[in-house]
Amino acid sequence: MHEQCRMGDRPQAGPIKPALRQTAVACLSVLILLILPIQPNAQTSAAPMAYYLDSTAGNDSAAGTSPDAAWLTLARASAQSYQPGDAVLLKAGDRFGGQLVITSSGSPGQPLRVDRYGEGPDPIIDGSGDREGGYCAAILIHNAQHIVITNLALTNTLDRPRPGQRHDWSFGIHVINDGGGVLEHFRFERLTIRDIFAAELDHTSEDAFNKVVVSGIRFAATPGPDGAPPAYFRDIVIAENAIARTGRFGVQIGHQSGQARGRDGHTRDPETGFNRDIVIRDNRFADLGGSAVQLAGARFALIENNDFERIGSSLVPARMVGRGSGAWVINSRDIVAQHNRSHHVRGYKDSYGLHVDFGNRDVLYQYNLSHDSEGGFVEVLGNNRNIIWRYNISINDGLREKDGNTIWLSPWSPDMELSEGIHIYHNTVFVRPGLYPDLDFRARGARIWNNIFAVSRHAMIGERYRAVLGGGRLELAGNLFFGRVSQQLRNLDGSAVMDDPLFVDPGSAEAQGYVLAPHSPAIGAGSDIEHPAFPAAGQGVFAHIPEQPAVDFFGQELPKDVAPTIGAALSVRR
């Protein structure tokens, strides 16, 4: 069992003596031969069963197979061995203390399902426990697959852990693969997960911060027994959930067992070195102590149409780390984040609407809104290749006095290696009065085309400017600059437009304010673009995503065979 988040107490049958076991097996075999007719290809699998839980009127001695014979506790449900297609159903409106442990798997087309029954609010699983203490996860899934969990509420304010449970971990759902090989098909949908806090939280140093492991949903692929194949997950969908008030993460999906075969997204085994085929869609994350989504060692992952609100919160100071970005990836490849909305991200480091940590390749961020992020708009750390940032809108990002940036390209990585192949184009940036975000370019160059950088009075982009390019260069073309933008940056663009872009509502906190008026000087004034390659476009979870953009931020079709319009949006939305 995984030693750092072990299962709660489960009833166990007593040992059977070997002689008695042999006699029983022999008698049972004879009985089966006498009773059953001999048929070719006889089907022996049982029909799927539904098991019911009622926290007020249930009885753990009952059969559990109907609402009138429901079980009482999660401990009883955890002790059951389930078959593919079975369902565990919790009574609506009830609160269940303790931990639900799942070690049984479903199968393709017949997942094991955890859901609700009856009328009323979603049932609550509270991992905080009882007089004996709480559990590090409200739901623990260990080396099992083909699991669907829907229509539940989960909470875990781990004040006093049970013996053997970690003080510094807490999860709504914790999925562990430490047996080696692949575990696949997980669907976590329409869940409410809130108030997930560890009993102890020390984030006073960088080392301590990195060890904080608290999350609404966590997948952990870790090395299995000696000789076991690398452990990884495949086919994960996390959709339509509300996750709020956690000590650090909303969703964290990690892969450690690829380390022996390569550390970063460039050198890992392309199949087993990553958790694969991941969709995180239509979720709302709010008031999290850290980041909403973190993917470590992921491939073919889509982060789409999520709301990130008040990320990096210190609402509960003793239990929240107070630093995070809406979403970020590390040591990953083939990643898309699109149509996400980020508002009011806070933190003393990082803390962007989205950011690209180190060791990634082929990452596409497009059609995202970032508003009022303390860190800034674009963050790309070291040892990255082919990072594409296009058709995004940034409003008032980079308000942090120290290290607040409109664009921050940093070599930060284990070997302090500069990134290359960074493409920042067709974005719209607006900065309100009183903000002075910096520009920091430490990479092997970058291409910056057809962006709008619009700055209000009493503000500036690039008050501090740094460029260390490691033999490369910044290539600027077709950008529009309005207001105080670093002269060093503007001097690099020989085809720049210096004029008011004429937004329909500049200063608005909503994306619609940055549509262009019909007579905007940005219309048709951009430079021709050679789009960077994104090899995974049109495949798998990216089947609906073309390699080259076909629409603007608002979904309006981009005209062909004409000079492009500068920025993320065309003229007045039709």
Give the mean pLDDT of 114-136.
Answer: 94
Residue 213 inside a domain? The answer is: yes
Task: Compute the distance between CA of residue 170 and CA of residue 551 in angstroms, rounded to an integer.
Answer: 42
Higher-pLDDT residue of 31 and 40 is: 40
Quick one: which of 275, 282, 287 has its CA closest to 345? 287
pLDDT for res 572: 67
CA 480 to CA 496: how far, in whole Å? 6
Q: What is the pLDDT of residue 245?
A: 98
Please give, one letter per residue, the 3-state secondary structure of 3-69: CCCCCCCCCCCCCCCHHHHHHHHHHHHHHHHHHCCCCCCCCCCCCCCEEEECCCCCCCCCCCCCHHH
Question: How remote is the C-alpha of 324 from its chain's centroid?
Answer: 12
Cα 542–chain centre separation: 16
With bands split at pLDDT 50, 70 and 90, how would you rate the model's confidence at 167? Answer: confident
Q: What's the number of CA atoms in the CB half-sphere (13 Å) around residue 247?
A: 29
Q: What's the domain count of the chain?
A: 1
Does residue 146 fall inside a structural domain?
yes
Stretch (H or E) spanning 113: strand 112-117
First to last CA, the chain: 58
| pLDDT in the model for residue 40 | 39
Say if 251 falls within a structural domain. Answer: yes
Would strands 147-150 and 112-117 be described as parallel, antiparallel, or unpaired? parallel
Largest interatomic CA distance in the chain: 93
Q: What pLDDT is attached to residue 258? A: 53
* DSSP symbols for 87-112: EEEEETT-EEES-EEE----BTTB-E
Each residue's pLDDT tens digit, 416-431: 999 999 999 999 999 9
- Rounded to an integer, the average pLDDT of 343-351 is 97
Q: Does a structural domain hold residue 480?
A: no
Mean pLDDT of 20-34: 33
Binning pLDDT at 50, 70 and 90, where does residue 5 land? low
pLDDT for res 233: 98
In a domain, 500, yes or no: no
Tell me what pLDDT residue 6 has.
52
**518-535: buried (b, 16+ CB within 10 Å) or exposed (e) per residue?**
eebbbbebbbebeebebe
User: What pLDDT shows up at residue 37?
Assistant: 38
Lowest-confidence range among 86-95, 208-217, 411-420?
208-217
How far apart, in whole angstroms, are the C-alpha atoms of residue 446 and residue 467? 11
pLDDT tier, 166 (very low <50, low <70, confident <90, very high otherwise): confident
* Interatomic CA distance for residues 567 and 482, integer angstroms: 13
In tens, the pLDDT along 274-303 reads 999 999 999 999 999 999 999 999 999 999
For residue range 70-122, what is the model confidence (pLDDT) as tens digits? 999 999 999 999 999 999 999 999 999 999 999 999 999 999 999 999 999 99
Task: Compute the distance between CA of residue 147 and CA of residue 86 in angstroms, rounded to an integer.
Answer: 10
Interatomic CA distance for residues 384 and 361, integer angstroms:
6
Question: Which of 443, 358, 433, 459 minimizes the C-alpha distance to 407?
Answer: 443
| Whether residue 41 has pLDDT greater than 80 | no
Q: What pLDDT digit, counting tens, does each position of 388-404 carry?
A: 999 999 999 999 999 99
* Token pair for 38: 């001999």
- Report how far residue 529's alpha carbon sits from residue 96's, in angstroms, rounded to the nearest whole number: 57
Residue 261 confidence class, pLDDT cut points 50, 70, 90: low
Q: Please say whether the beta carbons of 285 and 244 come within 8 A.
A: yes
Asked if residue 42 has pLDDT above 70, the reply is no
Kindly tell me the sign of the dihedral angle through the C-alpha atoms of 29, 35, 38, 42: negative
Neighbours of 108 (CB within 10 A): 10
| pLDDT above 80: residue 20 | no
Q: Are 116 and 152 in contact (CB under 8 A)?
A: yes
User: Binning pLDDT at 50, 70 and 90, where does residue 3 land?
Assistant: very low
Q: Average the pLDDT over 329-344 and give the result.
A: 98
The enclosing domain of 91 has a CATH number of 2.160.20
**What integer is the mean pLDDT of 51-69?**
98
Q: What is the pLDDT of residue 143?
A: 98
Answer left, alpha or beta for residue 203, where phi above 0 means left and psi between -120 and 50 means alpha: alpha
Do 48 and 85 touch, CB atoms closer than 8 A? yes
The H or E element that residue 79 is part of is: helix 74-79
> Using CA atoms, how far apart are residues 549 and 569, in angstroms rounded to an integer?
12
User: Exposed, middle or buried: residue 382 (CB in 10 Å: 0-12, 13-18, 19+)?
Assistant: buried
> What share of the chain has pLDDT > 90, as a percent?
83
Q: Residue 260, SS3?
A: helix
- Report the pLDDT averaged over residues 541-557: 97
Whether residue 282 lies inside any domain: the answer is yes
Q: What is the pTM of this model?
A: 0.92
Helix (H, G, I), strand (E, B) or coil at 565: coil
Range(s) of the domain holding residue 174:
48-473
Question: Residue 211's pLDDT is what?
Answer: 84
pLDDT grade for 38, boundaries at 50, 70 and 90: very low
The CA distance from 378 to 3, in Å, is 39
SS3 per residue for 468-517: ECCCCCEEEECCEEECCECHHHHCCECCCEECCCCECCCCCCCHHHHCEC
pLDDT at residue 257 greater than cutoff 50: yes
526: tokens are 């951009």
Averaged pLDDT, 248-273: 85
Does residue 441 sit within a domain? Answer: yes
Query: What integer is the mean pLDDT of 461-484?
Result: 96
Average pLDDT over residues 434-449: 98
Number of CB atoms found within 10 A of residue 24's CB:
11
In a domain, 151, yes or no: yes
What mean pLDDT comes out for the span 150-179? 94
C-alpha closest to that of 180 among 145, 217, 153, 211? 145
Query: Token digits for 8?
Result: 């709660």
Average pLDDT value for residue range 430-457: 98
Residues 48 and 87: their CA atoms lie apart, in Å, by 8
Which is nearest to 238 in space by CA: 183, 287, 277?
277
pLDDT at 491 over 50: yes
Q: Indicate the average pLDDT of the chain.
A: 91
Dist CA 34 CA 52 (whole Å): 35
User: What ranges make up the beta strands (E) of 322-392?
Assistant: 327-330, 333-338, 341-343, 354-356, 361-366, 369-371, 376-380, 385-390
The pLDDT of residue 43:
40
Report how far residue 491's alpha carbon sits from residue 514's, in angstroms, rounded to the nearest whole number: 25
